[in-house]
């Protein structure tokens, strides 16, 4: 099977997911906030002094099921790290599923070598 050929690389992805809480812990330790320009409406209010009207309206357009890779009530400490790993698993699984599907459709009858 083609997949076994890339076995080591799949393991690499799994290791990265398990290590992903590093991407939460390091910013916490070094007191770094989120990315520049990725603030929520309330944070914008703190920075700019007001919430732009259009920004507020559009920012309420979509409620992501797992916002910020955190499950509700699991947004602090060790629980947030576990949630982050679960988010990594769910996200990677979706990304892999969609790419496999699209890839199979696109590859179609193209040769196997």
Partner 1 sequence: MHIPDGYLGPITYGSLWAAVIPIWIYASKKVKEILKASQVPLLALSAAFSFVIMMFNVPLPGGTTGHATGATLIAILIGPWPAVIALSIALIVQALIFGDGGITAIGANCFNMGFAGVLVGYGIYKLISNFSRYSSGQISNAGTRNSPLSTCHLIGAGIGAYAGINLAAFLTAVELGIQPLLHTGADGRPLYSPFPLSITIPAIMLEHIFIFGIVEAVVTVTVLLYIKKSHPELIRG
Of 47-106, which residues contact partner 1 (CB under 8 A)?
A: 48, 50, 52-59, 61-69, 84, 87-88, 90-92, 94-96, 98-100, 102-104, 106
Comparing CB distances to partner 1, the nearer of 40 and 82 is 40
- Strand, coil or helix: 72: coil
CB of 77 to partner 1, least distance (A): 17
Place of tokens 């398990």: 18
As separate numbers, helices (DSSP H) first and strands (DSSP E) second, the chain gives 6, 0
Q: Rule CB under 8 A: which of 1-20 touch partner 1?
A: 2-3, 5-6, 8-10, 12-13, 16-17, 19-20
For partner 1, the closer of residues 33 and 77 by Cβ is: 33
Min dist. Cβ of residue 15 to partner 1 (A): 10
Q: In the block, which residue shows the tokens 């947030």?
A: 80
Q: Which of 101, 105, 92, 67 is nearest to 14 (CA)?
A: 92
Inter-CA distances, 79 with 10, 73, 109, Å:
26, 9, 46
Residue 78 vs 113, nearer CB to partner 1 = 113
């Amino acid at each position: 099977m083609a997949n076994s050929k890339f076995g080591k690389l799949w393991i690499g992805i799994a290791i990265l997911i398990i290590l992903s809480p590093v991407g939460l812990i390091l910013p916490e330790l070094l007191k770094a906030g989120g990315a520049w320009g990725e603030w929520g409406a309330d944070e914008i209010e703190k920075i700019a002094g007001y919430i732009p009207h259009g920004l507020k309206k559009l920012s309420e357009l979509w409620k992501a099921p797992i916002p910020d890779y955190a499950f509700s009530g699991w947004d602090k400490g060790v629980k947030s790290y576990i949630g982050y790993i679960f988010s990594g698993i769910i996200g990677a699984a979706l990304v892999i599923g969609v790419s496999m599907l699209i890839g199979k459709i696109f590859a179609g009858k193209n040769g196997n070598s």
